[in-house]
């Protein structure tokens, strides 16, 4: 550190990489003193003229304001107020074009001066040397001072920095061509600038203050040296004229041989940099109480008749400055805010002066020619050689055109100071800086969107956690923990439990009564007793064991190795009911087939429809009877009336009856079909058919008798089955009677031929045979029913 100080004090200057030497053109404007301009017709003051948040409005339309009166107040971090540059009336508060290449509208205050230029009450510090740190910072903050040589960083933030500062650097280089605002300010107000430096020394307490001035400003060097000779901690250092030596990082390298780390700030290496205009504004705020309402602006160019530096009120339109200095525009005139290297062309001259405006350049076509069309890069590497930040401008331009923002950040795009040296030396006239500016804006927007989405996700997660917590609290809100019992109460509960256990051995009923009495006593004594279900469990286990023994004994008596399961018997009964229903459906189908086959014989449509309806009704009634039989069997199989074996026997009986009914229906359908065949016309065939029917009926009866074993049912079930059989026989007889009547009906109509008469006689004979067979079947079924009963 001591060696570095010695080198600095000896005047050692270190070189930075890159740099160019454009024509200076400073002599146009630095030969005349700073001029005062008449009041403009109106002032357009944007609320935001610095980096950070804009202030909050504290005035309204049609309000009269005084010179120096605050129009906004700080509302957030990095927010500084804006003050009225002169007295007048606020005629409007509306968005106006901003001092930016895009000229996007920003909320602005429009003041119409009253011409009196009346100051508000000013409050300077009586003794700044004895003022506290916070008092000085508040004065700088309330005066609305921000950086006046670069991006407009709020000065109060730098003044209140907590990191230790070794070197305070005053940037008086002013390296860009044409601009002489700081040069003339140092010539005329060197003492005020030194006072501002001493105020910053009081706030930051640096080891050394270095004022860097280019060697092309001899008058400014002399004035500043004379003003600082009484302060041994201020050093005037002359630097060579190389563009961009006025860049913050480049000036630090020149004066201290230190480099600001990538993505860092000068304070990270113990250095702070201020502009001469900013220090002058600090002196004005502290010693005179004046806020920042004006600044020195260079108005120059070949189209200006009186180029020079003027005191411009903030908000003054550029047109007013040009007109006051004698502006003679040329066709396709360009007006640039800033210098020729880092400035930008204004879309309109109705834009107002802001805190960072240091130059208005109005060149002719020879002075600043229009850029030609962009050509292909020839990879000459001139841009890389000129870059003061040691970047790769050509590579950055390719990434910017293809919007590869990740690669741009990897190649340190944000280290670019937008000095324009690369574009100045490019033989292909590629506007490299414009690509970088657009890419920076888009990357910042992406970062802002990501931050916004991350915050939204955090809020969502926090809300979800809060709702879950509230839900859990609602569930547990009514759950009250019992108060802790005292030792005496716990002993009472233990004694009661012991008495209950002693009384449980007296018997089942006595134990239950004793347990209830014990619980009541325990509750009366203030204790809480858990219910004792041990006796109930024992009784349930005993009943289960008794039931199990009964089932085993029953199974042994019946000769079965395994007891019949109630569930299996219920399933068997359900299957029997399903089979009976299926048989009824088959019967109904057979009846419908008989009706269809007999329709040609009956010949009368109305009678056929009646016969079909009667057949369907009988079939439905038979189905209901079949369904009733299994239900009766199921009722008789209730757990109270019979044991498991009886249920199984009843299910077997129901299945046998269903099978028998299905066989009977099938036999009846076959007999009816056989009786209608033309080959059975004679008596012999009828006799044969009757014999076959009787044999089948006898076989069915034998099957029925075999299925109804003597040990298959008790007396009650036998009676029920007999009643059902009699009902079925009676229904079958009625059905046969009705069929006989329908078959014997004679057709009406006109007389037919002799051949039709013979056919009718044969049909009558067939009907007689079928009726006889049906009566025989009915009589046999009735006899079987009587035998069963």
In the annotated binding site for [4Fe-4S] cluster, the residues are: 377, 380, 383, 387, 416, 419, 422, 426
Is the Cα dihedral 211, 212, 215, 216 positive or negative? negative
HEC-encoded secondary structure of 106-138: EEEEEEEECCCCCECCCCCCCCHHHCCHHHHHH
HEC-encoded secondary structure of 361-378: ECCCCCCCCCCCCCCCCC
Which residue, chain included where needed, has tokens 């060696």? 3
3-state secondary structure at position 437 = helix
3-state secondary structure at position 149 = coil
What are the structure tokens assigned to 15, written together? 């070189």
What are the structure tokens assigned to 372, written together? 């030609």
Rounded to 5 degrees, φ, ψ at 366 are: -75, -35
Which helix (H) or strand (E) segment is 716 a member of?
helix 715-744
Rounded Cα–Cα distance for residues 161 and 178 (Å): 34
Residue 275's Cβ-side half-sphere holds a number of Cα atoms within 13 Å equal to 28
Among 632, 618, 644, 623, CA closest to 579: 623
The binding site consists of 377, 380, 383, 387, 416, 419, 422, 426
Instruction: Categorise residue 643: left if φ over 0, alpha if ψ from -120 to 50, beta otherwise.
Output: beta
- Quick check: 253 and 14 in contact, CB under 8 A? yes
Which helix (H) or strand (E) segment is 236 a member of?
strand 234-239
One DSSP character per residue, 498-515 reads HHHHHHGGG-HHHHHHHH
Is the Cα dihedral 379, 382, 384, 385 positive or negative? positive
What are the structure tokens assigned to 488, written together? 């005496």
- Dihedral, CA atoms, 38, 43, 46, 51, nearest 10 degrees? 10
Among 525, 45, 50, CA closest to 293: 45
Among 666, 690, 665, 663, CA closest to 766: 690
Rounded Cα–Cα distance for residues 600 and 603 (Å): 5
Rounded Cα–Cα distance for residues 139 and 133 (Å): 10
Rounded Cα–Cα distance for residues 83 and 753 (Å): 131
Rounded Cα–Cα distance for residues 766 and 141 (Å): 128
3-state secondary structure at position 353 = coil
For residue 20, the cross-strand partners are 243
Classify residue 230 as exposed, middle or buried by CB count within 10 Å of its CB (0-12, 13-18, 19+): exposed
Q: For 412, which DSSP code?
A: T
What are the structure tokens assigned to 593, written together? 């087939």
What are the structure tokens assigned to 192, written together? 């005020």
Helices (H), 84-142: 133-142
Rounded Cα–Cα distance for residues 16 and 239 (Å): 12
Q: How far is CA 64 from CA 67, 110, 114, 123, in A?
A: 10, 12, 9, 21
Q: Which residues contact 496 (CB under 8 A, 6 or more apart)?
A: 518, 519, 521, 522, 525, 527, 529
For residue 297, the cross-strand partners are 310
- Quick check: 307 and 34 in contact, CB under 8 A? no
Instruction: Output Rg (C-alpha) for the chain, integer angstroms.
Output: 58
For the sheet with 271-275, list strands across it: 234-239, 208-214, 167-171, 271-275
Rounded Cα–Cα distance for residues 97 and 338 (Å): 17
């Amino acid at each position: 550190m001591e060696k570095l100080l010695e080198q600095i004090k000896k005047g050692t200057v270190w070189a930075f990489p890159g740099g160019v030497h454009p024509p200076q053109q400073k002599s146009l404007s630095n030969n005349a003193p700073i001029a005062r301009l008449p009041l403009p017709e109106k002032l357009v003051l944007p609320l935001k003229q610095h980096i950070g948040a804009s202030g909050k409005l504290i005035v309204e339309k049609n309000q009269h304001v005084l010179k120096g009166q605050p129009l906004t107040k700080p509302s957030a971090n990095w927010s500084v107020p804006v003050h009225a540059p002169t007295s007048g009336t606020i005629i409007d508060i509306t968005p106006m074009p901003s001092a930016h290449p895009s000229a996007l509208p920003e909320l602005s205050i429009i003041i119409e001066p009253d011409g009196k230029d009346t100051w508000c009450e000013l409050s300077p510090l009586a003794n700044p040397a004895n003022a506290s740190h916070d008092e000085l910072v508040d004065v700088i903050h309330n005066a609305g001072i921000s950086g006046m040589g670069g991006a407009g960083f709020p000065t109060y933030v730098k003044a209140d920095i907590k990191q230790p500062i070794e070197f305070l650097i005053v940037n008086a280089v002013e390296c860009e061509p044409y601009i002489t605002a700081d040069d003339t300010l140092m010539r005329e107000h060197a003492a005020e600038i030194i006072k501002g430096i001493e105020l910053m020394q009081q706030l930051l307490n640096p080891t050394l203050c270095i004022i860097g001035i280019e060697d092309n400003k001899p008058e400014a060097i002399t004035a500043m040296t004379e003003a600082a000779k009484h302060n041994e901690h201020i050093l005037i250092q002359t630097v060579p004229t190389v563009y961009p030596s006025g860049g913050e990082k480049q000036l630090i390298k020149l004066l201290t041989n230190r480099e600001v780390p990538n993505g860092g700030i000068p304070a990270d290496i113990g250095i702070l940099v201020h502009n001469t205009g900013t220090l002058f504004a600090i002196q004005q705020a502290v010693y005179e109480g004046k806020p920042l309402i004006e600044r020195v602006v260079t108005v120059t160019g070949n189209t200006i008749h009186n180029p020079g530096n003027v005191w411009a009120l903030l908000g003054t339109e550029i047109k007013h400055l040009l007109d006051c200095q004698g502006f003679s525009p040329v066709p396709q005139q360009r007006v640039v805010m800033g210098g020729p290297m880092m400035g930008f062309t204004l879309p309109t001259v109705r834009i107002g002066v802001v805190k960072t405006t240091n130059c208005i350049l109005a060149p002719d076509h020879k002075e600043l020619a229009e850029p030609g069309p962009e050509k292909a890069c020839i990879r000459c590497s001139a841009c890389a050689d000129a870059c003061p930040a040691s970047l790769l401008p050509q590579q950055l331009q390719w990434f910017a055109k293809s919007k590869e923002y990740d690669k741009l950040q990897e190649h340190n795009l944000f280290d670019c100071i937008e000095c324009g040296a690369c574009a100045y030396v490019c033989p292909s006239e590629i506007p490299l800086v414009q690509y970088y500016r657009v890419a920076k804006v888009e990357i910042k927007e992406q970062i802002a969107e990501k931050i916004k989405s991350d915050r939204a996700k955090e809020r969502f997660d926090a809300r979800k956690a809060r709702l879950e917590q509230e839900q859990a609290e609602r569930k547990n809100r009514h759950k009250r923990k019992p108060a802790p019992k005292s030792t005496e109460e716990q002993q009472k509960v233990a004694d009661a439990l012991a008495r209950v256990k002693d009384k449980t051995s007296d018997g089942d009923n006595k134990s239950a009564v004793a347990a209830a009495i014990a619980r009541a006593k325990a509750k009366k004594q203030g204790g809480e007793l858990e219910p004792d279900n041990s006796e109930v469990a024992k009784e349930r286990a005993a009943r289960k064991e008794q039931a199990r023994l009964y089932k085993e004994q029953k199974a042994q008596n019946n000769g079965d190795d395994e007891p019949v399961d109630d569930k299996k018997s219920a399933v068997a009964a359900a299957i029997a009911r399903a089979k009976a229903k299926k048989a009824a459906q088959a019967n109904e189908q057979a009846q419908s087939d008989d009706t269809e086959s007999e329709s040609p014989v009956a010949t009368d449509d109305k009678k056929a429809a009646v016969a079909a309806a009667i057949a369907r009704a009988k079939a439905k009634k038979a189905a209901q009877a079949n369904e009733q039989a299994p239900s009766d069997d199921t009722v008789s199989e209730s757990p109270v009336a019979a044991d498991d074996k009886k249920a199984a026997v009843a299910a077997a009986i129901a299945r046998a009856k269903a099978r028998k009914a299905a066989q009977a229906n099938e036999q009846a359908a076959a007999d009816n079909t056989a009786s209608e065949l033309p080959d059975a016309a004679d008596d012999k065939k009828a006799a044969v058919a009757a014999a076959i029917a009787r044999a089948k009926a006898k076989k069915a009866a034998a099957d029925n008798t075999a299925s109804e074993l003597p040990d298959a049912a008790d007396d009650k079930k036998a009676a029920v089955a007999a009643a059902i059989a009699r009902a079925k026989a009676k229904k079958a007889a009625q059905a046969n009677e009705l069929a006989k009547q329908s078959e014997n009906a004679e057709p009406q109509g006109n007389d037919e031929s002799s051949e039709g008469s013979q056919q009718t006689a044969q049909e009558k004979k067939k009907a007689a045979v079928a009726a006889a067979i049906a009566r025989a079947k009915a009589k046999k079924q009735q006899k079987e029913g009587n035998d069963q009963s």
